Amino acid sequence: MKILANDGIDPIGKKMLEDAGFLVDTNNIPQDELPTRLQEYDAITVRSATKVRKALIDACPGLKLIGRGGVGVDNIDVDYAKEKGIGVYNTPASSSLSVAELVFSHLFGGVRFLADSNRKMPVDGATKFNDYKKAYAKGIELRGKTLGILGFGRIGREVAKIAIGIGMEVLAFDVFPFNPEVDVVLGGGYVAKVQVKTANKEDIIANADFISLHTPFVDKPLIGAEEFAAMKKGVGLVNCSRGGLINETDLISALDSGKVSFAALDVFDNEPTPRQDILSHPKISLTPHIGAATNEAQERIGVELASLIIQHFKG
């Protein structure tokens, strides 16, 4: 049984599969070569880079399993694969904490201008030190502010836990019913059960000091000119979820007008070639789609994915 881990797999997960008798190939095959070369394998695991669409599935009638190391399965035609009898698995719980921590990396940096400061200080901090000291002296604290979370699945819940832990108010929205109670780990083995406030999308957009997006891919942007117009002046916006959730042209206008104080983006419309005006904007904090890319998360993903594959084939 041969498995192509086309976007890689953690060494622990690879060893688990090999110990179970599978052959695991971690050499990346370019997307355009997959219709031919994937026919040599029984299963494929991917992350966000490799796409497993209908045409590829049709080209590989021997394919028995598709594994996604991560939460979203936007890059896989899941229903079609299942119609063909192919098992499709993902690892929704393994990377939630890593994404949530990145959200707060961006939030803490955004309220203290770290992204722009780190761009400018190496260039002329020695000659404009006092100018920058004055320019970046109007930061704010997160404690006591309201964080609106659009999308309250596993990652949204982890974001809420951190927010509550640092003293923020949380407003949560999801299109599906959800349990508003979260377990907040306080340290020393103590866990507090906290009820978050639920709200609709419009209330969050109108009342939140900061908004974090955690929804699946959508056909049109969730946040555009109309939503920006309804937001509080000085709001901060974070997207560590999916490219396309924010209209990037409208975002730049909102940043330039001061309606949005800062934005933080881990995902973009045109990956892997984001717009230059987004990349160079002084009020945008940037990371290259690394939400789940921590050592701990990748190990958890590898172990979970390997376990699912072994269970599928050996039950």
Alpha-helix residue ranges (DSSP H) falling in 60-168: 78-83, 96-111, 114-124, 129-135, 154-165
Is there a contact between 237 and 210 (Cβ–Cβ < 8 Å)? yes
Give CA–CA dist 154/65, Å, rounded. Answer: 24
Give CA–CA dist 138/43, Å, rounded. Answer: 53
Give me 204's structure tokens.
Answer: 């969050």
Give CA–CA dist 90/68, Å, rounded. Answer: 4
Give CA–CA dist 291/21, Å, rounded. Answer: 32
* Active-site residue flag, 281: no
Per annotation, catalytic residue among 33, 40, 141, 271: 271
The candidate with the shortest Cα–Cα distance to 152, out of 105, 94, 216, 106, is 216
* Active-site residue flag, 271: yes
Is there a contact between 283 and 260 (Cβ–Cβ < 8 Å)? yes
Place of tokens 């975002």: 251
Please, what is the angle between helix 96-111 and helix 154-165, to 10°? 50
Give CA–CA dist 61/199, Å, rounded. Answer: 46
Place of tokens 């056909």: 219
Give CA–CA dist 56/95, Å, rounded. Answer: 27
Per annotation, catalytic residue among 214, 242, 281, 300: 242
Per annotation, catalytic residue among 68, 289, 300, 304: 289
* Active-site residue flag, 296: no
Where is 55: in which H helix or E strand? helix 54-59
Residues marked active site are found at 242, 271, 289
